[in-house]
């Protein structure tokens, strides 16, 4: 009987249900238009947008990218149109395609996060907000909020206050901290409904012919399968400490098996980033593979599999 029963693939962050647990990763899906040539955006749990700032940003000079073993370094510097242009151009288009949208926001000050949250209030097709407090490619690297529990807390508090209670807030954390669990506790206490784990890992490559750093930004964020064990560890640790806080897992997921590993570690959803660069249909491929694996292993719901590896 059970094999004819529909598998419950839904996942929940805050008060919102998403029909599938596979999301794009912030900064890895353009405006959505680029990928919509290859699949329907509403097949995904949600499109997570690039991190939007208050004003337009040119981003950093090039080279912005270096391929590394099973990964890549990037130093884009949050290039983007700014919130007003984004709301006028990108959001209506995503809405017209029926996409569920999680808007990622990034500010240089606590006040900027407040402004961004205020402007997002009441936006159609908005399913959630990812608060990026962990981009390694901002000018004042000392001010990566996610490395400081007090600053992290301050950002989440103003976002919660300004967005109201209607939208789930997902705080994106950096793995470049001594104790990710303590940061996670702070942002959850400040009002985050969920956690995005992990942002890229700060890294560097030197061009041995030029005898110079390979990236114009000198350092960059490492992503891809090379960082997956770091992500699995972070997800496992945080899920142990905060079992009721849903986690959006990410970091080098390239197959359904990789996604399943993070779900067993404690993720309720998966974002796919770098894999899309290598394969425009990676997100839908991973979604199908994950569903098939969960069914093959005898699970009836995604929820039953979340954190299954915990002993």
Partner 1 sequence: MKINSRAVQKSVEVLSNKKVGSYHHMVFSVGEMALSAKPGNFVAISVGGPNSAMVLRRAFAIYRASDRGNYGGTIELVVAAHGSGSKWLSERAIHERVDMVGPLGTAFGIPTDQVNALLVGGGYGSAPLFGLAEVLKQRGCRVDIVLGASTANKIYAPLEGKRSVNTMTLTTEDGSAGVTGRVTDVMPGLIQKNSVDIIYSCGPMAMLEAVDAIAQGAGIMHQCAVEESMACGIGVCMTCVIPLRDDAGLIRMQRTCIEGPVVDGSKVIWGNSRSIPQGTLGFNQ
Residues 6+ apart with CB under 8 A from 286: 22, 253, 254, 255, 256, 258, 259, 270, 272, 275
Residue 14 CB, shortest distance to partner 1, in Å, is 27
Establish if 107 lies at the interface with partner 1 (CB under 8 A).
no
- Total residues contacting partner 1 by CB under 8 A comes to 46
- d(CA 43, CA 99) in angstroms, rounded, equals 8
Binding span for partner 1 by CB under 8 A among 68-76, 123-131, 162-170, 300-308: 68-76
Residue 7 CB, shortest distance to partner 1, in Å, is 27
Residue from 17, 33, 218, 297 binding partner 1 (CB under 8 A)? 33
Establish if 17 lies at the interface with partner 1 (CB under 8 A).
no
Establish if 106 lies at the interface with partner 1 (CB under 8 A).
no
Residue from 45, 77, 175, 221 binding partner 1 (CB under 8 A)? 77
Establish if 225 lies at the interface with partner 1 (CB under 8 A).
yes
- d(CA 274, CA 266) in angstroms, rounded, equals 21
Q: Is 135 a catalytic residue?
A: yes
User: Which residue among 73, 131, 135, 156 is the active-site one?
Assistant: 135
Nearest to 195 by CA among 163, 172, 228: 172
Residue 78 CB, shortest distance to partner 1, in Å, is 9
Establish if 91 lies at the interface with partner 1 (CB under 8 A).
no
Establish if 116 lies at the interface with partner 1 (CB under 8 A).
no
> Is the CB of 268 or the CB of 276 nearer to partner 1?
276
Contact letters (x/-) for partner 1, 238-277, by CB under 8 A?
Answer: ----------------x-------------------xxxx
Residue 226 CB, shortest distance to partner 1, in Å, is 8
Residue from 22, 35, 105, 183 binding partner 1 (CB under 8 A)? 35
Residues that are catalytic? 135
Footprint of partner 1 (CB under 8 A): 27-30, 33-35, 37-38, 50, 55-65, 67, 69-72, 74, 76-77, 79-82, 139, 216, 224-225, 254, 274-281
């Amino acid at each position: 009987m059970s094999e004819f029963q529909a598998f419950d693939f839904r996942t929940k962050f805050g008060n919102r249900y998403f029909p599938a647990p596979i999301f794009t990763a912030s900064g890895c899906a353009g405006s959505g238009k680029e990928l919509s040539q290859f699949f329907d955006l509403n097949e995904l749990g949600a499109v997570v947008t690039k991190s939007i700032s208050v004003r337009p940003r040119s981003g950093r000079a090039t080279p912005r990218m270096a391929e590394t073993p099973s990964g890549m370094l990037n130093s884009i510097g949050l290039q983007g149109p700014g919130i007003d242009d984004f709301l006028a151009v990108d959001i209506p288009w995503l809405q017209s395609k029926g996409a569920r949208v999680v808007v990622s926001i990034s500010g240089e000050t606590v006040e900027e996060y407040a402004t961004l949250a205020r402007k997002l209030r009441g936006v159609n097709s908005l399913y959630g907000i990812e608060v990026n407090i962990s981009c390694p490619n901002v000018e004042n690297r000392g001010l990566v909020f996610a490395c400081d529990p007090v600053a992290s807390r301050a950002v989440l508090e103003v976002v919660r206050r300004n967005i109201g209670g209607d939208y789930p807030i997902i705080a994106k954390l950096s793995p470049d901290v001594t104790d990710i669990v303590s940061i996670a506790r702070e942002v959850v206490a400040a009002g985050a409904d969920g956690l995005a784990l992990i942002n890229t890992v700060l890294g560097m490559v030197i061009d041995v012919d030029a005898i110079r750093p390979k990236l114009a930004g000198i350092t960059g964020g490492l992503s891809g399968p090379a960082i997956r064990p770091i992500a699995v560890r972070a997800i496992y640790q945080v899920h142990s400490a905060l079992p009721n806080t849903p986690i959006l897992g990410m970091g080098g997921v390239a197959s359904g098996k990789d996604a399943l590993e993070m779900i067993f570690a404690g993720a309720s959803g998966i974002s796919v980033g770098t894999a899309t660069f290598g394969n425009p249909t990676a997100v839908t491929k991973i979604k199908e593979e994950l569903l098939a694996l969960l069914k093959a292993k005898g699970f009836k719901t995604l929820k039953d599999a979340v954190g299954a590896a915990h002993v």
